[in-house]
Structure 1
Amino acid sequence: MPTLAHILVVDDDPAMRELIGDYLSENDFRVTSASNGAELATALQEHALDLVILDLKLPDEDGAQIARRMRETSSLPIIVVTGRLDEADRVMALELGADDYLTKPFSLRELLARIRTVLRRSSLTAATAMTTGRSADTRAYRFDGWELNTGTRRLVSPSGEAIVLTNGEFSLLTAFLAAPGHILTRDQLLEASRMYDDVFDRSIDVQILRLRRKIEADPSNPRYIKTVRGAGYVFFDQVEKIRSVSI
């Protein structure tokens, strides 16, 4: 089950936030809303976002300054929304590093089309970065509908249920997701978990068994974490890495 793309809508108008949020939710997106710069900063810390819709006119801070700071630290896609028709404003939005812009009033169908276009372009850029060896700090991992937020240490199932992980389970799952398809020995997994006192060489297998019980439909016949006899373990699924972003 694919994980829904997560969109952050930043607008000080509650009616506009609700209108956009409801429409995007109906079209298979996860949506979080923010009304000002402070709420935007909190959302960036708490969620693994795929795209930000940013109104340039916010009550506490100029949206242009926010967009500029975001672009200095991240390639997170930004669609700027402005209520002004001046060409200079549109040029400024693109010079800030925005991936696209819309002028109010706009149709929701046009917004949806632009979001999908920007997300497709972003996915191609990310794929190119992986093949060329470029990397960035990882904010979250996604696989088969699951999402592990490394900042909040929150694991969410495809159904939206929050799964509680111990320190050791979180550390092991992070190690697997950082190296999908690669065999990790018990020594490597132990090293990845050394910061926690509850993980020892003799308990790696026990920790993995417990982790399987939390993410596998059938722990006795695992789909994700497979045993490689005489070698170690391997995470057997495609993993999407979500980059860190701050303002």
Structure 2
Amino acid sequence: MNSNILIVDDEPELRDVLRETLEMENYIVSEAANAEEMRHKFNEEDFDLVILDLMMPGEDGLSLTRYLKERSDVGVIILTGKGESVDLIIGLEMGADDYVAKPYNRRELLARIKSVLRRSGRPAGKSAEITDGKSCITFSGWELDLPHHKLAAPDGSDVPLTMAEFQLLRVLLENPGQPINREDLSLKIFNKELRENSRNIDALVRRLRQKLEYDGNQPQMIKSVRGSGYTILTALD
């Protein structure tokens, strides 16, 4: 089954080029020029991925990212011409799964689309990986379901994770007690090098802490290691 992708951008020329690129890869593609059109199409169809311009007249990509993530687990890739900006970090904090800077490289964009679809379990041609033959990682009463990209709390309730949050938690759990620097985390999670002065990984860690810790301001599980990045301090069950 081919993935269904929605392009949201106010520039018709960009939408045309992106549609042609995606259709050549056999994706099913729809377009929206603004927030109203996006909401209408989103409520009418089941999309696997939304490619969303960050800066649009009226309601921008930040607000639309929040709207999408509050209502579904659809993958979201932000297109931005602003580089590593405060707005981009906010977009990631709201749940965007990845970002691509404009003007984008066609091969890079396609690779990121396939990565987000694969991590989300949406149609992308490959099955989920299982670490060392394990389908779940259990820690301190929590359970991370690897094939289905789900997290269960100690009380059994489901804790929604974006794909980036899932990847971050998985990487930390696969290296318990071992500090991992921001550069390596960026490569493992986003498959891209960390730009100078970027706070994207810090924003992602902050968001995951809020879901795992009783008090995100005094983290006990995910610890910062000065000069070395982050580590998770928990016993694997």
Question: Would the aligned equivalents of 1:93 and 1:101 in 2 still touch at CA under 8 Å?
Answer: no
* Distance in 2 (alpha carbons) for counterparts of 1:128 and 1:87: 29
Q: Confirm or deny: 8 A CA contact 1:35 1:58 kept in the other structure.
A: no
Q: Distance in 2 between matches of 1:40 and 1:66?
A: 9
> Identity rate of aligned residues, in percent?
39
Distance in 2, matches of 1:4 and 1:94, equals 26
- Which amino acid in the other structure matches residue 28 of structure 2? R
* SS of the residue 2:22 aligns to: helix
Residues 56 and 87 of structure 1: CA distance in aligned 2, closer, same or farther (over 3 Å): closer
Asked which structure has the greater CA Rg, the reply is: 1
CA distance in structure 2 between the partners assigned to 1:34 and 1:12 by the alignment: 8
The separation in 1 between residues aligned to 2:108 and 2:16, in whole angstroms, is: 17
Q: Report the more deviating stretch, 105-114 or 82-91.
A: 82-91
Partner of 2:87: 89
SS of the aligned residue for 2:26 comes to: coil
Partner of 1:78: 76
The aligned length equals: 134
Whole-angstrom CA distance in 2 between matches of 1:77 and 1:126 = 17
Offset from partner CA, 1:216-239 (integer Å, 9 cap, x none): xxxxxxxxxxxxxxxxxxxxxxxx
Residue 117 of structure 2: aligned partner: 119
Where does the alignment leave 5 or more consecutive residues of structure 1 unmatched? 137-247
1:39–1:101 distance in 2 versus 1, CA, 3 Å: same
- Name the SS for the 1:12 alignment partner: coil
Matching of residue 53 in structure 1 with residue 51 in structure 2: yes
The separation in 1 between residues aligned to 2:14 and 2:68, in whole angstroms, is: 23
Uncovered stretches (5+) of structure 2, i.e. residues with no partner: 122-127, 129-145, 161-237
CA drift of 1:133 comes to 9.9
Q: 1:126 to 1:81 in 2, by over 3 A?
A: farther
Q: RMSD of the TM alignment (CA)?
A: 2.6
- Higher relative contact order (Cα pairs below 8 Å, separated by 6+ residues): 1
Q: Does 1:31 align with 2:29?
A: yes
The secondary structure found in structure 2 opposite 1:52 is strand
Amino acid at match of 1:24: L
